[in-house]
Structure 1
Amino acid sequence: MLSPLEADSLSILPGIRHGFFTRQGGTSRGLYASLNCGAGSKDNAVSVIENRTRVAERLGSFQDDVQTIYQIHSAEALAVDQLVDREALPKGDALVTKTRGLAIGILTADCAPVLFADAEAKVVGAAHAGWRGALGGVLEATITAMEGLGAERSRIFAALGPTIGPKSYEVGPEFVAAFEAVDAGNARFFTIPKGRSTPHFDLPSYVMHRLGQLNLRHTERQAPCTYENESMFFSFRRATHRKEADYGRQISAIVVA
């Protein structure tokens, strides 16, 4: 049974359904157990298709799949109005739509998923905010794309979902330099834990900071650490540390019902 995490603020919006889906409730096995929704993984394709169908059904989509995107860690946000074939996915890192019954979503395995909704305009968005996308402006691009469909930022609710936490996100000095080159104030999102010599990055706090500058109606954080909660979430970094051959992806999705 699927039991996605939900943001309180999005849950109360009329005509909007959403979910930050965990790795639980699917058909995949092994490294991908069980709700792997990543078609780009080496998982059995039939299992991935069934998993995504379950997500679409849970959201009340009119389709048997969730519209995702070929993610490239960019600041590109695209508007969609129909389900696109899996073999012809557009490239970018955010999707927006006002098409009723078309569930849109993004895939993550440590990066930050952010869902957006203007319930009055019936416009929703989903953004994949890895560090490159967040730094480059993918959140801002998502809002601009939503406005292009008739949304107003003063009515937009945004919620951050599960992502890697600062305790597990060790980075190098060049990483810190890239952020400080954009804004010296970004130094506050890096700490060196006691007994360690390298900095750690607080991605969820950085994403919330960027959202807080957008003059939205409301922002919310539902961000348990993907690395630390193995039973609930896939994690690219955890799989890398264990030298595993591959990893699954969880999906975060939203729909105008």
Structure 2
Amino acid sequence: MNEPVEVLTHPGLAGAAHGFLGRRGGVSTGIHAGLNVSYAEDEPAHTAENRRRAGDAVLPGARLLTCFQVHSPDVVTVDEPWEDADRPHADALVTRQTGVLLGVLTADCAPVLFHDAHAGVIGAAHAGWKGAFTGVTDRTVEAMEALGASRANIAAVVGPCIAQKSYEVDSAFERRLLEAGGENERFFRAGREGHAWFDLEGYVAARLHAAGVGQVGMLGQDTYAQEDRFFSFRRATHRQEPGYGRQISLIGLEP
């Protein structure tokens, strides 16, 4: 593919190099066609080249760091870079180091990028429903505070993820969130019997507001519905495809 890497940005994060990337601009082929950044499903050479392109599109020359994501609330503070083979098991990264790019991989889950421009602290979180429910964004804010950030000064943006109109869940899922708080009812819309439609983006944004984050933004992009722009686990599952690929969201501080 010769098309350029598509980089979506948000004015709330303007003080940091950042980008929410999709599938455009990569070298992978077949069902992973485009900028697939997952080593688990693709030719290693393709993934490595796609990751290089992704990094160069956001902060050329920076060291790209990701974690081994496990749908947890766990956060790692980056003091020194690591090799891909040694990446920690976690779902969020924070740092005040310059010259590194923090990256999270998604394929319907919500990527969240954070920046406190006053303290010079950044963060990136992978917030699927489970991670969001168990507090990954809350812990990311706490880890940023430990580096000198202030909640009131943090800007956080929820990137491309599966939209409510594409995210049908069963009654057990809905009941679990409603039992955690009646206010969560606002994130569900009634569907067919025993099912509902869940607003993951809105839920993650609400968690950020409740945590006292000063500025919260949403890109409003549906990964499921936009096959030409994004990878989607649920879309691939519905089609019974053998794989689905991942996109990446990145944030860094220039040296």
| TM-score normalised by the chain length of structure 2 | 0.95
Q: CA deviation at 1:61?
A: 4.5
Q: CA deviation at 1:202?
A: 0.7
Question: How many Å separate the matches in 1 of 2:182 and 2:160?
Answer: 27
Question: How many Å separate the matches in 2 of 1:61 and 1:217?
Answer: 29
Are 1:226 and 2:223 an aligned pair?
A: yes
Question: How many Å separate the matches in 2 of 1:253 and 1:48?
Answer: 16
Question: How many Å separate the matches in 2 of 1:185 and 1:219?
Answer: 19
Structure 1: where are the runs of 5+ without partners? none
User: Residue 55 of structure 1 aligns to which amino acid in structure 2?
Assistant: A
Which residue of structure 2 aligns with residue 10 of structure 1?
13
8 Å CA contact 2:64, 2:102 repeated in 1: yes
Which residue of structure 1 aligns with residue 45 of structure 2?
46
- Which of 238, 243, 255 is residue 240 of structure 2 equivalent to? 243
Aligned partner of residue 64 in structure 2, secondary structure: coil
User: Residue 246 of structure 2 aligns to which amino acid in structure 1?
Assistant: R
Are 1:62 and 2:65 an aligned pair?
A: no
8 Å CA contact 1:61, 1:101 repeated in 2: no
Question: How many Å separate the matches in 2 of 1:60 and 1:73?
Answer: 27
Question: How many Å separate the matches in 1 of 2:81 and 2:61?
Answer: 10
User: Residue 89 of structure 1 aligns to which amino acid in structure 2?
Assistant: R
Q: CA deviation at 1:81?
A: 2.3
Question: How many Å separate the matches in 2 of 1:23 and 1:60?
Answer: 18
CA shift digits 1:196-250 (9 cap, x unpaired): 3321111011111111112222111102100000000000000000000011100
Which residue of structure 2 aligns with residue 143 of structure 1?
141
8 Å CA contact 1:74, 1:138 repeated in 2: yes
Which residue of structure 1 aligns with residue 153 of structure 2?
155
Which residue of structure 2 aligns with residue 118 of structure 1?
116
Q: CA deviation at 1:132?
A: 0.4
Select between 73-82 and 52-61 the one with higher mean Cα deviation: 52-61
- Which of 154, 163, 169 is residue 171 of structure 1 equivalent to? 169
Q: Work out the number of aligned pairs and report it.
A: 250
CA shift digits 1:87-146 (9 cap, x unpaired): 111011100011101000100000000000011211100000100011100000000011
Question: How many Å separate the matches in 2 of 1:39 and 1:18?
Answer: 22
Question: How many Å separate the matches in 2 of 1:60 and 1:252?
Answer: 12
Are 1:206 and 2:203 an aligned pair?
A: yes
Aligned partner of residue 91 in structure 1, secondary structure: coil
User: Residue 4 of structure 1 aligns to which amino acid in structure 2?
Assistant: V
Q: CA deviation at 1:44?
A: 0.6
Q: CA deviation at 1:3?
A: 2.1
Structure 2: where are the runs of 5+ without partners? none
Question: How many Å separate the matches in 2 of 1:2 and 1:82?
Answer: 28
Identity of matched residues, %: 44
8 Å CA contact 1:81, 1:102 repeated in 2: no
8 Å CA contact 1:61, 1:255 repeated in 2: no
Q: CA deviation at 1:33?
A: 1.0
CA RMSD of aligned residues (A): 1.1
Question: How many Å separate the matches in 2 of 1:77 and 1:93?
Answer: 6
8 Å CA contact 2:75, 2:136 repeated in 1: yes
Aligned partner of residue 207 in structure 1, secondary structure: helix
8 Å CA contact 2:95, 2:123 repeated in 1: yes
Question: How many Å separate the matches in 1 of 2:241 and 2:126?
Answer: 23
User: Residue 10 of structure 1 aligns to which amino acid in structure 2?
Assistant: L
Which residue of structure 1 aligns with residue 20 of structure 2?
20
User: Residue 237 of structure 1 aligns to which amino acid in structure 2?
Assistant: R
Question: How many Å separate the matches in 2 of 1:34 and 1:120?
Answer: 36
Q: Which of structure 1's runs of 4+ aligned residues deviate more than 6 A? A: none
User: Residue 74 of structure 1 aligns to which amino acid in structure 2?
Assistant: S
- Which of 91, 94, 112 is residue 92 of structure 2 equivalent to? 94
| TM-score normalised by the chain length of structure 1 | 0.94
Select between 163-172 and 213-222 the one with higher mean Cα deviation: 213-222
